[in-house]
Each structure stands twice: as structure tokens, then as C-alpha cells.
Structure 1
């Protein structure tokens, strides 16, 4: 038995995990022996690593402000005048543009009467309409829309840009999973940060749309490998319930980025300035990487025992732990085998439900955030701030369910049902004179859905999936489930574009996705959690000296980003 010295700071209960008598199954783990479950060293490391989530949120949401429509900040656009000396903008609009309540400025800027070419025609209204090819913008700031005239039929090119960014996220997860087999998480983070800085600055300085799309893909790729590798470090150096708390705190930094971006845009006043503002802080993070520790488990698994031992000894001093005299770092022993467990069949229906939940959660969490452009009027910074606060509330609710509730999936399904119904009910809002249902009532309904889906993300990230997948297959299948959700996320920008026809179409579509997640969660609850109890509750170590020993492979089952480099002697991957 190994005892950990309790450090002398008041960590409001977290310190109690440090003053424990460890069960035999954990006393052979050099990382837990040195670090304990959580301490000041892990807390400092978490705050440093989690910084990668803030620029990731900025880059993800940036399209809302980089390509904001002129109407959203008091501007307008219209078909280019044939003679600017003869026509003022107002005179041109009144004579040649058809009236339309569908647009905020009261006219259709995409079409003009066919007689505009012969502007001396006395009655142009009988000649029909033709689409505009060139546009003029009356704005006090520049955006991607004003630079490349991405309006009317060309507006869908904005969706192409964001979809390519999401394609980078999709590829980034697979790339990180592969790189972790040969490259340490810290190195991956540094490489990703350097790539993000280079691509992000190039985005702001180059004038070519096609090149912009390619660079956007690189930014998405770099963002994903940064926060995926960062999460791996977080789960590698924490254990037990503190692992759950650390994982949720890591995700909260995304919400901090989401609620701050809108106000950064107000200061930038230009899409080029904003792109530089959300990219340059990553330069500072590259400098801070000097203080960023690597994953000790990765070092041990790759035979770098001396480097791992030096890291763990210095971390143990920070945490106030007294290491035993015979402390040494070596590759973990062969885990206890259980032939029946290794041959445990995969329950395909439950895995299918997990996939539906992941698809609904990822598409709604990230795509629904981009959809806040279409609800609530013109105050976009205020709406994104509200969305960020809703994410924080939902994430904290999810953490409480994971830590305190015996039936976390059951309660999650109930919250998802409420959120889905609220989003679908956006059709019930009375439209205004323009036919729009957008307003604070729709924002309120969207916020309820956002809270529920943030709760779902917190629960699924912290053990929700692992409960239904055999340990031997867990790393690869969990990666597939997450990648499947990201694949469908690439279509979210085009789904959001349907709001042009009716504000409530997209919010209702996300409501249907939330209801799909609710039904899938209820199936898992009724067929597994309700009958047998949650697996996570039986696996997480308790703060007691009489913990029943467990297999080493039973420990870190939580997390969606899995380090595939830890393989037992039978060649079976397991999460460490």
C-alpha cells in the first residue's frame, strides 16, 4: 500500500483525494503514485493546456463575424449603378429595385427591373426582373462578403468556406489518433499551434477566395489536433473523479472563447483585423509551451523512462507527495486478463444509439452555435454571449449528472427531450410584418436547446459512450463514433442557410436532432442503465482505503480523444 502526502492548500475537497491509501492495483501505477488523483501540478497544467480551446472556439465561430451580412451592422448592398454621377444610391434603389419585406432594408438587393440598362425608360416595372452580377456596398467595415461580393447566389460560397474548416476538424481527429502512436502530445500541440498561426495570418493577408478556402481547412486541421492532443494530456495526468472534473473544465474554455468573440469583433471593425486578433494569441501559447509538460504515460509507453521519471519526481514535489524509496518508472505490467471480457460481444443496437447521440450532439452543439446568426435580430455579439453562457450552464449540469446521478443517461434524455421540444416549438412564434419569427422569444427557445445539448456533450465526453462498448474495442470504436459525428457536422452550414426561407426551419431541424438524441438516450437508459446501473459508477475509484482492487484496464475509460499507443501484450488497445 502507498500513501500520498496531502498538500497544505485548501482546494475545497480536491485535496482530500491526495491523502489516500491507494489500493494495490493503483500502487503499481507510477503516474498515480507520483501525482495522485489531482493536485496543484495538475491544476496548473490544466489551465495551461486548456488555453488551446479558446482560439479553437474563435476560429470555429469566426465565420459569423468574418462574413457577417451588411444588414447586421447597419449597412446595405444593391445592384451596381450604371451611372454613379446621375443616380444617388437611394434614387437608384427606389427606381430599379423591387420592394420586398423579406429583406431588412425593404427591397430585394439581388434583382433589378430589366429596364435598368436603359435607365431613361419611363416605366421599367413591366420589363421583368434580372439578377445582379455586380454590387455596391454601403458599410462602415469590411467583411469577406464585401471583399468577394458573397451575396445573393454567391452567398452559398460562405457555407463552402465553413464546411472546409469543418472538414479540417474531421481530418484532424483521425490525424491525431494516428500521430499519437509515434509523436508525443506536447509535440503535436506545438506543431498544431505553429500551423494555425501560419495559416491564420495567411488567411488575413491573401486576396484569393480559393486560397482562402484551403487555408481555412488547414486552420481547422490544426485546431483539432491541438485540442485533441491537449485533452490527451489532461486525461493522462489525472485519475478518478478529478479526471471527470478536469475534462469538463477543459471544455469550459471553449465556452469562454464563444462568449468573447463577438465583442472582439466590435473592436476589430474589419474582418482582416479580427482574423489577426484570433490568430496572434496562439503565438503566445507557443511560447508558453516551454512550460507545458508532456504526457508521462506516453513517455513510459515509448520507453523514455528516465525522462518520465524526472517529470514525475518534479511534479510530485509540487503536489507535496512523498515518493517511496524504491520508486521507479517502467512500462506497466501486463494487465489482468479476462477471456470472457475480451470476447464480450458488441451490442450493435446500443452502439448505434451512441452514434445517433454523437451525431445529434456534435451537429447541434457546433452547428447550432453558428445558427445563432439566424435568431434574435441584429445584435449578434449579445446572442453569441448568451449562447456561451448557456453552454457553461449545460456543461455544469452534465458534470453534476456524471458525478452525482446514478442514472445520468436517463436524466440526460429528459433534458434533451425538453430542449428538443422547445426548439421545434419555434414554429409557434407569431411572425412579424416581415414574416420573420426571429426575436428574443426564439433566442430563449434556442438557449434551452443549447443547455440540453451542452449537457449531452459533457455526459458523453465523460464516460457516456464507454459504458456500452467492451474495453478491448473501446479506443477504436469511440474514435469512429466521434469521427462519424464530425462527418455529418460538415453539412451544418448548408442546413443553417435554409433560414433564408423561414427563421424557424433551422432551429426546428436542430430540435428534431435533439429529440433523436433524447430517444436514443432513453433506449440506453431503459435497456442498460435502469436495469444494471451505470458502469462508470462501478469503475471510478472511491476516496476510501477499502476500495476493491480492479484491473488496470478498468481505470481511465472516460474521454473521447483516446491515446492509441497503450497496448497490452495480447495486442489489445486500452485507454490508460
Structure 2
């Protein structure tokens, strides 16, 4: 019996379609446009906390309430100067025995808590925190069910990141089953509904609901394009993915400018909604990855996409014999992947996933944590944010340049380790100007790590679970962001100590990468478990101890996998 010829999809990308032609560039830009508004969703300006003080009802009379009134000296305790509090007691006031704003009615020896605040509007005219009055003092409200544990503002951020993590998990699973296009459209619709609710919110509860929906929707449409673009780029051109974040960085610069002009939380949401609606329609006529279509056995649709790709790239149409060989290779891979649910119990997959989760957590902690710090350092918050975006742009250019000749694993260790050491130095030196300079440098290295890890992660998981693996990893980054936000906003933890924690976790991640994860330079995207195992080379002994295959179920013995693959392939041919 004549053996059927097979053809690797990566060979088709490089030799027939062109590794990075007009078709790949079209998908590259279409996916990148979804990243443009991503910085709008992160609670930086939307969750900006201006300087605030305790509201004294008998003195703060409408319609004009001043942040620095003359009576503050006898009604509010004076604290040490601090950027947020500006030297005025923030959640306490002197008790009063009357209803008039007179010095003789206040007892300077007895203080009482307050649950309402007055906010300084010199930096932002209408912050969301002031509209709902949900600053830190709101935890003193007897009607707030979480009490002093979590403020109402912090609760909104927790709900947002919870929605992000749920969205990534669900969208990753959906992407593996239904394709990237369905995930993107679903996420865009969900975000649009949430943004409309946020823009029209008049109550705190409705805004909380909108935070959950927008969190769910925004990240599903920002992670899925990475998988799609990584699957259509040739293995010799995959380093271009490191420059993919340019769309997110440009969106960040625009956000800083728009926020400085609008200075109104409701108009921020209107801007985000308009940008989202502007970039969504392109995905109604774009298609899924042909690699994914082949892995799902949708050969006729894959053929149409490949014909479209060769036409756009100006290349000859894939011959019938070559497509038949591609189909045969896909059938054999699909026979192995029929049991892809059990792939998660394979040692190599599970090892890569566990280490990736910790790496993504450390990168998210450092990257998003430093983004939050940018608006708490004092001075002009818009200029600070733009400065940090400039640091990210430098990191982006460096990562895209170096990634063309350095393996992604090495680059992640180099950038994440350098960023961690910069933060350690900021802790040791302690001088404000040096701290700012080293924190900006740390943001540069952290952005490099983020760019490269998006390229690296899809390259160490097989096609049937690639969306889910990237989704789980990205969820860990958002968990890191949540931890970072808590550390930065905690009154009992100094900023410099938070930076030291960021650095310690980053250095731990570097050690795990070197010990357990493989290099990928010049490797094709893995399609099966055997492909994932074959990535292992030049690893320390701990990286591929055979004893783990005995202790941990492999999901499928590779020899048995090969036999079943051939049997199912023959069965499909006979049927």
C-alpha cells in the first residue's frame, strides 16, 4: 500500500504563502487595532484617586465646596504632608457639639470617623471616585457590607479584574472549540454592553455590574488575536510578534492625551465605546486561522482561507497534491488530538503551564503594578503616565530588535531579571529622583518581558489547547495585577517595599524559566504532544526527569499515541 505524503503547515507558511506577506500583515493590523483601546480599560485614570479630605457637613455647604477652606484648621486634624491627603485628615474630623461652622463648636481632643469626602479637582475635574464618593473613607459607611476591609473603590477594581480573569478563561476555552473570530466578536459585544451601562450609570451598583462586563469583554478581544497572528506567521518571522504591542502603546499615549483634555470619567467611557465600535466591524469579514481550521477537520474552509491568502500575497495557489498532503498531516495530528482533553495531564504540558503561570503572574505584577504607580508619584499624572508609556515604547523597540537574533527564553530572563534588579536598586538607594529613574527603567524591562512572553507562550503548547493555555497564563498576569494594585494601595506597605516584592518574585520567575522551560528559536509551532516533548533541549536535569512521567500520568504514552493516530487515520480514509 502506497504511503500517503504529508506536508507540514509551517513549511506551507514559509515556502508557499510567504512567512510574512500582505495577508499576514492584514491580520497583524486587524488584531493590533483591538489592542489600541486596551489601556482605556485598566483602572488608571478611571480609578484615579485625587487628594481628599473628610467632609464636614456643618461647614461644607453647597453649592460651593472648597478643598482648602479656612475653617479646616479647627475642624480637621492636620497630618504629615502626603500627596493623596495633602496634609489634611482624610477619614477623621474633630467632633462637633453644634450645627454651625464655628471654632468653638469643635473639640480638638476628640476625633470621629467620617464616611463622606471632599475631593481636589485640580488634577481631574470629574473623577469617578468623586461622583460616587467611593474613596477610602467610604469604608466607614455603616451601610457598606465589607466595612473597613475593602473600600468601595477597591471593590470596583476587584470586580473588574475578576471579570477579566473569567473572560480570559472562558474565551480561551471558546477559542479552542469555536475559533478566534467567535471569541473576538463575543468579547466586543460584551464590552459594548458594559461600556454603555458604565457611561449611563447613576448608581454605584450599576457601575459595579458594568465593571464585570467590561472586564469580561476587554481581555478576550486582546489575547485571542495573539494566538491567531502567531499561527499564521512563518517560524522565521515570528519575532515580529514582539512588536505587536505597538498598538497598545500608541493607545496608551492617546489615552494620556484624551484624559488630560476630557478630565471626565463619563466621557472616558464614551471615548472607549467609540474606539471599540470603530475597530469591531473588521472582524465580521475576517476569518479564523487556517491552522486551527485544519486541526478541527474543517478542510473546505481551510482551503478557501489558503486560496485567499495566496491571492493577497501574490503567490501561486497551493496545488491539489500539496493540499492533500497537508490534509493527511492534519488527519494524523487530529487523530492524536482527539483526546486533547487529556493533554493537560501530560508532564511536559503541565510543567510548561505551571511555570508559565508563575512567570505571567510576576510579569503582570511588575508591568501593571508599575503602570498604577505612575499616577501615585505626585506631579502631573498625565505626564507621568506618558513618561511610563515612553519607557514601554523603548522596551518594545528593544524587544522587537533583539528577538530577531536572541531566543525568547533568554530574552525573557534577561529583561525580567534586569527589571527586578533595577527595582532592588531603587529600594536600596531610596532617593526620590533615583527611585523614579529606576522605576521607569524597571517599566522598560517589564514591557520587554510582556512583549516576548506573548510570543513565547503559544510556541510551547500544542494547537488544540493553545488558546486555553494562553488564556490561563494571561489570567495569572491579571491576578498579579490585582496583587500589585493591593500592594500599592495598602496604607501599611510603603511603595519602595512593594517594589522590592515585585523584584523578588521576578527573580524567582527567572530561575524557574532557566530550569524548566525550553528554547524555541527556529522551532515550528507544536501540533502534538510529541512536538512539545521534542522542544526540550539544553535543559538542566530537573527540566526533563523521566521519573515525572511515572509519577504524573502522561495523558497518553507517545508510542500508543502513534498507534492510535495511525489507526484513526486509516479509519477515516476507509470511511
Q: TM-score range by the shorter chain?
A: 0.7 to 0.9
Work out the CA distance in 1 between the residues paired with 2:13 and 2:564. 23
Residue 446 (structure 2) pairs with residue 453 (structure 1): yes
The 8 Å contact of residues 160 and 212 in structure 2, kept in 1 or not, is answered as yes
After TM superposition, list the pairs within 5 Å mapping 1:14-33 onto structure 2: 25-26=7-8
Work out the CA distance in 1 between the residues paired with 2:133 and 2:492. 18
**What secondary structure does 1:294 align onto?**
coil
Deviations 1:311-361 (A, max 9, x none): 3222212211012553647742414999xxx99854987765544322211
* Partner residue in 2 for 1:129: 111
* Partner residue in 1 for 2:262: 268
The 8 Å contact of residues 28 and 229 in structure 2, kept in 1 or not, is answered as yes
Residue 30 (structure 2) pairs with residue 48 (structure 1): yes
Distance 1:85 1:318, change over 3 A: closer
Work out the CA distance in 2 between the residues paired with 1:131 and 1:328. 74
Distance 1:214 1:492, change over 3 A: farther
The 8 Å contact of residues 335 and 552 in structure 1, kept in 2 or not, is answered as no
The 8 Å contact of residues 195 and 210 in structure 2, kept in 1 or not, is answered as yes
Residue 490 (structure 2) pairs with residue 498 (structure 1): yes
**What secondary structure does 1:447 align onto?**
helix
Residue 502 (structure 2) pairs with residue 510 (structure 1): yes
**What secondary structure does 1:65 align onto?**
coil
Q: 1:102 aligns with which of 81, 96, 114?
A: 81
* Partner residue in 2 for 1:189: 184
Work out the CA distance in 2 between the residues paired with 1:553 and 1:413. 26
Deviations 1:26-62 (A, max 9, x none): 37976666523210121122111211111222212xx
Shift of 1:77: 4.5
Work out the CA distance in 1 between the residues paired with 2:465 and 2:220. 23
* Partner residue in 1 for 2:374: 372
Residue 397 (structure 2) pairs with residue 421 (structure 1): no
Unaligned runs of 5+ in 2: 140-150, 337-342, 536-560, 567-575
Work out the CA distance in 2 between the residues paired with 1:88 and 1:234. 53
The 8 Å contact of residues 362 and 506 in structure 2, kept in 1 or not, is answered as yes
After TM superposition, list the pairs within 5 Å mapping 1:275-290 onto structure 2: 275-290=269-284
**What secondary structure does 2:80 align onto?**
coil
Deviates more, 1:324-333 or 1:110-119: 324-333
Work out the CA distance in 2 between the residues paired with 1:447 and 1:237. 34
* Partner residue in 2 for 1:308: 302
Shift of 1:178: 1.8
Residue 315 (structure 2) pairs with residue 321 (structure 1): yes
* Partner residue in 2 for 1:334: 332
After TM superposition, list the pairs within 5 Å mapping 1:11-90 onto structure 2: 25-26=7-8, 35-60=17-42, 63-71=43-51, 77-83=53-59, 89=66, 90=69
Work out the CA distance in 1 between the residues paired with 2:462 and 2:197. 45
**What secondary structure does 2:104 align onto?**
coil
Shift of 1:374: 2.2
Deviates more, 1:100-109 or 1:264-273: 100-109
Distance 1:135 1:552, change over 3 A: closer
The 8 Å contact of residues 31 and 296 in structure 1, kept in 2 or not, is answered as no
Work out the CA distance in 2 between the residues paired with 1:149 and 1:460. 39
Deviations 1:126-178 (A, max 9, x none): 43211223334453611111112122333732222122221122112221222
Shift of 1:79: 1.6
* Partner residue in 1 for 2:200: 205
Distance 1:277 1:85, change over 3 A: closer
Distance 1:477 1:183, change over 3 A: closer
The 8 Å contact of residues 300 and 308 in structure 1, kept in 2 or not, is answered as yes
The 8 Å contact of residues 56 and 93 in structure 2, kept in 1 or not, is answered as no
* Partner residue in 1 for 2:393: 392
What's the Cα RMSD here? 3.9
**What secondary structure does 2:70 align onto?**
helix
Distance 1:398 1:569, change over 3 A: farther
The 8 Å contact of residues 14 and 235 in structure 2, kept in 1 or not, is answered as no
Work out the CA distance in 1 between the residues paired with 2:98 and 2:116. 13
The count of corresponding residues between Structure 1 and Structure 2 is 506
**What secondary structure does 1:113 align onto?**
strand
The 8 Å contact of residues 203 and 212 in structure 1, kept in 2 or not, is answered as yes
Deviations 1:234-280 (A, max 9, x none): 122222122331x2232332222223211111121211001111121
Work out the CA distance in 1 between the residues paired with 2:508 and 2:181. 37
**What secondary structure does 1:66 align onto?**
coil
Distance 1:364 1:47, change over 3 A: same
**What secondary structure does 1:112 align onto?**
strand
Work out the CA distance in 2 between the residues paired with 1:358 and 1:39. 31
Distance 1:27 1:233, change over 3 A: closer
TM (norm. structure 2) is 0.76
Work out the CA distance in 2 between the residues paired with 1:380 and 1:205. 26
TM (norm. structure 1) is 0.76
Residue 132 (structure 2) pairs with residue 148 (structure 1): yes
The 8 Å contact of residues 53 and 251 in structure 1, kept in 2 or not, is answered as yes
* Partner residue in 1 for 2:155: 160
